[in-house]
Amino acid sequence: MSLKLEQSQSLLESILKSVGSGIIVADETGKFLLYNPAAEKLFGIGATVSSPAEWSKLYGFFAEDGITPLPEDELPLVRAIRGQSVSGMRVYIKNAGLKDGLWLSMNARPLVTADGAIAGGVISFEDITRQKELEQEAARSNADLEQFASVAAHDLQEPLRTVVSFLNLLEQRTKNQLDEKSARYVHNAVSGAKRMQVLINDLLAYSRIRTKGQPFALVNMQLVIQDVLDDLGGNIAESAAKIDIGRLPNVRGDRSQLRHLCLNLINNAIKFRKQDEPLRIEVGVTESRKTPHLVTFYFRDNGIGIEPEFYERIFVIFRRLHGMDEYPGTGIGLAICQRIVERHGGRIWVESALGVGSTFYLTLPLEQT
């Protein structure tokens, strides 16, 4: 062996020994050609003389849920040997050699010779157990918080109903008997309690988006929008709005939630219109070649507009840019829209110019036909 070749081989060996990532190379039959110390540490078992059909059981590979055994076909190294590439696949591993199970993130690539033939596969992997634990903790505390909000909102409804009905009775009974100031106090108490009822109902609706949603099915968005426009008939006539609806595709989702989403957006366009200009609303889709499984809808208006510094804040629950006397509302509409879109795996954002108008964009999964 030439000195140069020897040197580069020992350099490669020391690199493979020192890296924290596990690296394994196998030939096309599954025979291990390289198995670095980190791989041995992370797998809890060293290189074995075994066939790929035995690997899942022998090494204890499971899917990310930690319970479903990974079939041979889905093992990253097996896929690499068959010519596929795998990036960032999360796998759980547990076997007699490991005190505790580990989550690994795995990459795999076929081993291709100079003439283009597949001679085996390479995998590299890292321990992501800590990251996975943090994600699980965050999901648990989110779920706890959500449940707390839902239970609190539900349990507050009953006593509040009592307060509202007794305040109403008090208002009726004391009509014309109280001095002006006392009558105003009672009136303010009634409207405060009623507003609280609206807020609590909204909070409950918000907390139920994820927990009480319907399974996804084909949704004809053209019909959904038509339905919403029929519902808003009175408001639309009153605002003399001109509404253009483009050709809308079918999506995959929860029809009732998507209807709620469109209703909120069109309602806002009507509510936040300019008083001195006829309202125009346009609903359509834009195409994206980057994400062919998603479609971007837009809801454009020529209303009062929003300043860029508020583009994100308006989606936060109970955040409003105006006083109740200027525009009625609770500030939950867009937070509900965001939750609905996120439940569908999409995102929602706004582009706007103050005094010119706003366009709300949202992505939804296309129904593949």
Binding site for ligand ADP (CB under 6 A): 264, 268-269, 272, 301, 303-306, 314, 320-322, 329-335, 358
How far is 272 from 299, CA to CA, in rounded Å? 13
Length of the chain: 369
| Identity of the residue, 339 or 344, whose beta carbon is nearer to ligand ADP in the bound complex | 339
Please identify the residue of the shown chain whose CB is closest to the bound ligand ADP.
329
| Identity of the residue, 124 or 352, whose beta carbon is nearer to ligand ADP in the bound complex | 352
- Write down the least CB distance from residue 359 to ligand ADP, Å: 9
| Identity of the residue, 66 or 192, whose beta carbon is nearer to ligand ADP in the bound complex | 192
- Other CB atoms within 10 Å distance of the CB of residue 151: 12
- Write down the least CB distance from residue 369 to ligand ADP, Å: 32
| Identity of the residue, 80 or 314, whose beta carbon is nearer to ligand ADP in the bound complex | 314
How far is 280 from 301, CA to CA, in rounded Å? 6
- Write down the least CB distance from residue 336 to ligand ADP, Å: 8
| Identity of the residue, 30 or 303, whose beta carbon is nearer to ligand ADP in the bound complex | 303
Burial class (CB in 10 A: 0-12, 13-18, 19+), 211: exposed
- Write down the least CB distance from residue 143 to ligand ADP, Å: 24
- Write down the least CB distance from residue 266 to ligand ADP, Å: 9
- Write down the least CB distance from residue 273 to ligand ADP, Å: 8
| Cβ-count burial 58-85 (b if 16+ within 10 Å, e if not) | ebbbbeeeeeeebebebbbbbbbbeeee
| Identity of the residue, 264 or 363, whose beta carbon is nearer to ligand ADP in the bound complex | 264
- Write down the least CB distance from residue 138 to ligand ADP, Å: 25
| Identity of the residue, 102 or 350, whose beta carbon is nearer to ligand ADP in the bound complex | 350
| Identity of the residue, 36 or 268, whose beta carbon is nearer to ligand ADP in the bound complex | 268
- Write down the least CB distance from residue 288 to ligand ADP, Å: 23
Tokens at 306, concatenated: 């929003």
Dihedral, CA atoms, 176, 182, 184, 186, nearest 10 degrees? Answer: -90
DSSP-derived pairing of the beta strands 357-365 and 348-353: antiparallel
